[in-house]
Amino acid sequence: MQGSGSWSSGILLICEVQAWREKQRFTRECVRDEIRALKEEKHATELHLESLQVPFMVISQCLSNRDQRVPPELTRDQLGEELNKELHIAENSKRVLMDVCHMGWEKIKELTNVLCRLEREIKNKDETLDLEYHVKDLTRDSTDISFKLDPTRVPTESMTEESYVHCIENTIKIAEQLMSESKTLRETMFKSREQARNQMHAQSQQVELIMRRRVFDIQRARNEMEWQKYKLEQNLQKVDREIETVRAAVADKINPTKLVETRLETRTRRPVLERVQDKPMRGLIEEFERVHMSHNMLEKKLEEALTTYHGMFNHHGRVTKDLQYKNQALETDRRLIEIRKPLHSSDETEFKRNVGYCHMSDELVTD
């Protein structure tokens, strides 16, 4: 009867150990799958993190290119603010992705540790089952049975049955908790990647819109300044002709002035008794005053024309210099379009981007 009881207890123990081993094997496979999935998600996040190097390079090149503007055009504008905002978004996305990648590495390490723990416990149970099967197969006629010194002793570091079950359950519980945390982390990685991608795309669209609007505004201002320069050149030619005309008129007044002054001076040499304030004398004096008044008016007109000419000439110089600054600023901002080409996909044409900027996709008639 005692042999039958030991036999039944051995069978129950083997069944219990096998049940725990199967549960740990299932948990081990789940942990392996979770490690594989987490590594794939971490690899995808690292690839996206590497892809941020292109926007970093493009944004930095755009900012350094805009710093080459001359001081009159070197101002804080909306385009500069949007580029700095885009750089801030890229830096923040890089920081967030690096943090989740580090968290993923830590979680993979923890999952690997619990996987090793499970494999060690499964290996121990395999050895235990081998021993239990060997004990079960022993009979009175077995050749390897013998007397032992102290077969009833309790081995060191032995534990109770409750502690044994608690240890197994604790390992499985830790593995399940780590897998739950890993799943949450994978969702966080995916969310961080998509959020970074959406934020970068939205900000890139905003920068492109502001950039093209600025190019349009500068080009319009440049065209207005060219028209202003053209009108100034025409007015300068007109004023120059007027100056030449007035100078010719002033030159024409020289001989009449000499004539009337010579006549008046000559009449002063008449004898004393002939020096009469007669009608010819009064006529010469009136002619003298009229000639000098006309000469003074022409001189004043010439001075005003010269002042106007010099003012227009100086303004023309300032407009010419400002026009050079505008052309340099326009060329600088136009260069940004070429610099930002690596941010666009290869199949994205200029027309498609313009449609996206203007939100006209719903208004176009498709073929």
Q: What is the pLDDT of residues 78-96, one digit of tens each?
A: 888 999 999 999 999 999 9
State how far the Cα of 80 lies from the Cα of 308, in Å rounded to an integer.
Answer: 40
The overall average pLDDT reported for the chain is 84
Q: Is a pLDDT exceeding 50 seen at residue 156?
A: yes
CA atoms within 13 A on the CB side of 241: 5
CA distance between the termini of the chain:
92
Looking at residue 69, the DSSP 8-state letter turns out to be S
Name every residue whose Cβ is closer than 8 Å to that of residue 219 and which is 6 or more positions away in sequence. Answer: 330
Band (357; pLDDT cuts 50, 70, 90): very low
Residue type, 351: F
State how far the Cα of 228 lies from the Cα of 224, in Å rounded to an integer.
Answer: 6
Q: Would you list the domain boundaries of the chain?
A: 2-138+162-358
The secondary structure of 119-181 as a DSSP string is HHHHHHHHHHHHHHHHHHH--TT-TT----S-TTPPPTT---HHHHHHHHHHHHHHHHHHHHH
- Mean pLDDT value of segment 243-254: 86
- Mean pLDDT value of segment 290-297: 85
Q: What is the pLDDT of residues 105-155, one digit of tens each?
A: 999 999 999 999 999 988 988 888 777 777 777 778 787 787 778 777 777
pLDDT for 160 equals 80
Band (344; pLDDT cuts 50, 70, 90): confident
How large is the greatest C-alpha to C-alpha distance in the chain, in angstroms? 186
**236, exposed or middle or buried, with CB in 10 Å at 0-12, 13-18, 19+?**
middle
pLDDT for 46 equals 94
Q: What is the pLDDT of residues 28-80, one digit of tens each?
A: 999 999 999 999 999 999 999 999 999 999 999 888 888 887 777 777 888 88
* CA-closest candidate to residue 88, choices 52, 119, 114: 52
**How far, CA to CA in Å, does 13 sit from each of 54, 119, 166, 192, 243?**
62, 20, 16, 49, 123
Q: How many CB atoms lie within 10 A of CB 252?
A: 12
